[in-house]
Structure 1
């Protein structure tokens, strides 16, 4: 039986009506978030993709920060680079100096007619990613700061108060001794050794990392963290290493696995480790602020941020930039930021996200989850505790960690190791300035 012509054409008309007028614009986002954090990145991108039909953000894990940046630099040569690159906070000076590579976020958002003001972000975070005129160069995404975690079950076993985190380094030492007495293999360990034991240690004790406000005051800064307090701290770690009161866990986040595996009773690492720790720990977790040495005048001051931000790279089609601006506006929403903060342990980068989280009663229901914010805002930041902006600091950080390892292994004294770290690091700063 032959159908009338208008009925025969009906399926074709329906298909044409249902097809989009234009193809979806893909926006590639290279990131450095492994594990649970990577799954949360995929969820955020998926939520944005479902919120509209014009753009599709495609997140791709490229390794940790150094690997991700290296991959992007190689991709730029063949113009196969992503529109969005996640980069570590200490790479800010390097990204700023990469002429013709970066599309500053404040210019992108203005060109796309999007509201974007530094005043909406927490001041300590906005200042880190802005130029000297206050213009935001990248989008603050995953801001963290190191905090103290402890195993409450092991504290109970050792006769320690499970509801009281050690507040000073002498208290950490005393707790670690009691843990070892109860056959816990390791008392305390730290992740990210330079970030925790040099950079944040210095800020929390109101000590300079480098001249010129740690480089935030402009080019020409030189490292100067080889002082009595940092030397004394490293000397203590060297001595504790002998009995595993302190036990070194490498340059990245292996310390976190040792903690949630119940090998170490105390951990000092990123506030953003919370998601992985909660997902894997089989014990009750306690939280505390960074410990400090009470004999250092000015401590405790405030910690500084770590983590990273999202940089927009030049050389992508205009359609992608329209989508990037839409995506950043989505990321700025208080509910989106609040969920990211609550689930991961990263800080809410906007004041509205913090207030939204507080209004929901999240901090009341989850004691300790606001420690990172209270610690970062413990006191008004000084020239020593605003952060740092030093060229090629990823390379310098490796130098610092190499020298720390030499001290912990007994190959050098703490003083010699820190002196060498400063000397070698300043050579890298000089080379960076000559090249830029």
Structure 2
């Protein structure tokens, strides 16, 4: 009987020890917007970190789209219920930069917690998007991508085109698309996802044309849109309107809604994020080709360099000190070359560190996977200029939606492309001034 009591006492002691250990583990919440295969890979990487140590547990929570998670986080912060880490898409950078009291700059965090962190280890075209004018990195680069051209090699063959030669210029693309449609190889020549990111933002950078003053907003909140005055956007939108009438181009919605039009074989070409690679290869029943974005041959300096999309991780204030030590260690884990290479190779997002890029090359990844290096070549094609490093505008989530509304109005015949671009510029500048006024 005594032995039984001692056995129970020992058992309770062990259980209490495990309970204490569990309670001692600091839980870090991460709100993100990664779904599907990429979301599963994210959870897999988080699980690796959690198993690599016992002091911290990162809990990833999908909060819907980027816009939804950003809105939810702002509301949660006001209620004192904010997550530790928030994944914010690149167009939300300007808004979060202005919320100085709510964010813990990542470069300062890593320094405060004694974690090795050198921004120069990261691709400059990535870090430049999330740095202050003085060079301080405010958020942690995580998933960065850039648009590339995907094309249906089978459709190219049926149309009598060389499947190893994707079009390089917009003129070549229009000619190829017309041959494809005329031959019946596909109903639609080209479609585009993420309308503003591709047909406004990257179109401008790739074609060496400023979108706005103040280094596309990177140098100050008093930036002013000038794209309608420069002429490139009105010209391109007018071409899209013209091409849509003959089937050369077909608008199939916002965000990634146009994706199925390509993978089903309905459209022979698609401008889509490099991060769409995994899903496209998994769902397409034809031989997929890859190419750089087309450019306008007569525009001086084109092609220049593309700019990134995707998101970075922002650390929010208002949490206990031990949380920040855990966040810093988690970011160090995410920066490991083998982790970054794994994320890059699976998803198609850029390898955000130079070491991850070199490791991927050493592993023979690009030789085994044709087209996987195109996005890296695009952002590094030429040294970025002040207006091709990226863009940073307050209220840009709403402004981008407005840009897409104006493009849709032109494609729907409600107004000319020239008028739509002019209206987009004027309305965008009003929205920029509203944001600027809020900062004073």
Over aligned residue pairs, what C-alpha RMSD do you find? 1.5
Report if aligned partners of 1:118, 1:134 keep a CA contact under 8 Å in 2.
Answer: no
- In the alignment, which residue of structure 2 is the partner of 1:55? 56
- C-alpha separation in 1, matches of 2:220 and 2:17: 57
- C-alpha separation in 1, matches of 2:7 and 2:22: 27
Report if aligned partners of 2:224, 2:429 keep a CA contact under 8 Å in 1.
Answer: yes
Q: How has the CA–CA distance of structure 1 residues 52 and 419 changed in structure 2, closer, same or farther, with 3 Å as cutoff?
A: same
- C-alpha separation in 2, matches of 1:369 and 1:386: 22
- In the alignment, which residue of structure 1 is the partner of 2:192? 190
**Does 2:225 align with 1:223?**
yes
- In the alignment, which residue of structure 2 is the partner of 1:346? 349
- In the alignment, which residue of structure 2 is the partner of 1:246? 249
Report if aligned partners of 2:295, 2:302 keep a CA contact under 8 Å in 1.
Answer: yes
Report if aligned partners of 1:138, 1:312 keep a CA contact under 8 Å in 2.
Answer: yes
What pairs up with 1:350-429 in 2 under 5 angstroms?
Answer: 350-429=353-432
- C-alpha separation in 2, matches of 1:21 and 1:47: 19
- In the alignment, which residue of structure 1 is the partner of 2:100? 99
**Does 2:152 align with 1:151?**
yes
| SS of equivalent residue, structure 2 residue 47 | helix
- C-alpha separation in 2, matches of 1:210 and 1:263: 36
Which TM-score applies when normalising by structure 1?
0.96
Report if aligned partners of 1:138, 1:310 keep a CA contact under 8 Å in 2.
Answer: yes
The CA deviation at 1:127 is 1.2
| SS of equivalent residue, structure 1 residue 150 | strand
- In the alignment, which residue of structure 2 is the partner of 1:203? 205
The CA deviation at 1:17 is 5.3
User: Deviation per CA, 1:264-316, whole angstroms, max 9, x where unpaired?
Assistant: 11000111111211221122111000001111111111101111100011112
- C-alpha separation in 2, matches of 1:358 and 1:331: 19
Report if aligned partners of 2:178, 2:247 keep a CA contact under 8 Å in 1.
Answer: no
- In the alignment, which residue of structure 2 is the partner of 1:259? 262
User: Deviation per CA, 1:319-346, whole angstroms, max 9, x where unpaired?
Assistant: 2212111111110000000111111110
| SS of equivalent residue, structure 2 residue 258 | helix
| SS of equivalent residue, structure 1 residue 21 | helix
What pairs up with 1:8-157 in 2 under 5 angstroms?
Answer: 9-16=9-16, 20-21=20-21, 23=23, 24-157=25-158
The CA deviation at 1:178 is 2.0
- C-alpha separation in 2, matches of 1:204 and 1:50: 42
The CA deviation at 1:8 is 5.8
- C-alpha separation in 1, matches of 2:400 and 2:5: 73
Report if aligned partners of 1:186, 1:264 keep a CA contact under 8 Å in 2.
Answer: yes
Report if aligned partners of 1:180, 1:187 keep a CA contact under 8 Å in 2.
Answer: yes
- C-alpha separation in 1, matches of 2:12 and 2:419: 78
The CA deviation at 1:20 is 4.9
How many residues in Structure 1 have an aligned counterpart in Structure 2? 436
| SS of equivalent residue, structure 2 residue 3 | coil
The CA deviation at 1:77 is 2.0
Report if aligned partners of 2:206, 2:295 keep a CA contact under 8 Å in 1.
Answer: yes
